[in-house]
Amino acid sequence: MSVAALSCEDVSLSFGGVRALTSIDFSLAAGEVVGLIGPNGAGKSSLINCLTGFYRPDAGRIHVGSTDVNGMKPRAIALLGVSRTFQQAETLVGIGARDVMMLGRDRFLPPGFIRFAFPIPAVRRAERDSGERVEDIAETLGIADYVHKNTPFESLPYGVRKLVDLGRALACEPNVLLMDEPAAGLTDGEKERMVQVIHRIREKHSITQLLVDHDINFVTAAASRLLVLDAGVMIARGPCDEVLAMQSVVDAYVGRSDDAEVAEA
């Protein structure tokens, strides 16, 4: 049996008296695109934070490939090939688009002071290879112009900022990509483009992707199956159309105006 790219067994997490996650079990096969949905407060961000080492679960185990990552720091998990994008990319203000993406090349390059003090051919070659990699990713994402000009991040249209942040995550050459609300704040046209980008990433790089988003139409267009969280419990999983027809899923959303689109999807 092939090893899952990422798996969770019986993962639970509490904040004081608040139970954010209860006995979460799931696994992602290599190269698949899966959507994680759930109403506000369902535990989606808490789960991503556990998977990336920002939170430590109270119980359960998380594996990246065959490695048990419980207790590992975020950087160690990132080095195993897990990358994430962020809901809010504003903290990157002040840097150019290309430089933002080059942050993702960190682990492939010697530290900055070494590069500056010892500009030997091997260092130059590593920098050149990383630059080429970033340009190739920018091409795939359709943002080559912004990256070529190294346009300041704060001057970029919002949808392009999301793609640059995605480019940074891809520049790490991940096996697993966790995308935190990739469609939030995007126009309909930008969402369609993001769906195409997600398909392209799967076809070109075979990266396992977990998409966490509120927009059901977006998630079902991009993912082949769904996981549904409600109040910290995984209430449903399976192919998109089957999951959206489940009464428990409709019940979890109905009456919550911000997420009510599932009833119409």
Ligand X SMILES: Nc1ncnc2c1ncn2[C@@H]1O[C@H](COP(=O)(O)OP(=O)(O)OP(=O)(O)O)[C@@H](O)[C@H]1O
Binding site for ligand X (CB under 6 A): 15, 18, 20, 38, 40-46
Minimum CB separation of residue 123 from ligand X in Å reads 41
Indicate the residue among 38 and 81 with the shorter CB distance to ligand X.
38
Minimum CB separation of residue 213 from ligand X in Å reads 9
Indicate the residue among 31 and 41 with the shorter CB distance to ligand X.
41
Indicate the residue among 44 and 191 with the shorter CB distance to ligand X.
44
Alpha-helix residue ranges (DSSP H) falling in 142-262? 144-149, 158-171, 188-205, 216-222, 240-244, 247-253
Minimum CB separation of residue 223 from ligand X in Å reads 17
Beta pairing class for 67-68 and 18-28: unpaired
Nearest-CA neighbor of 89 among 216, 197, 185?
185
Indicate the residue among 29 and 184 with the shorter CB distance to ligand X.
184
Nearest-CA neighbor of 130 among 172, 75, 94?
172
DSSP-based three-state secondary structure for 124: helix
Minimum CB separation of residue 55 from ligand X in Å reads 8
Nearest-CA neighbor of 231 among 34, 17, 44?
44
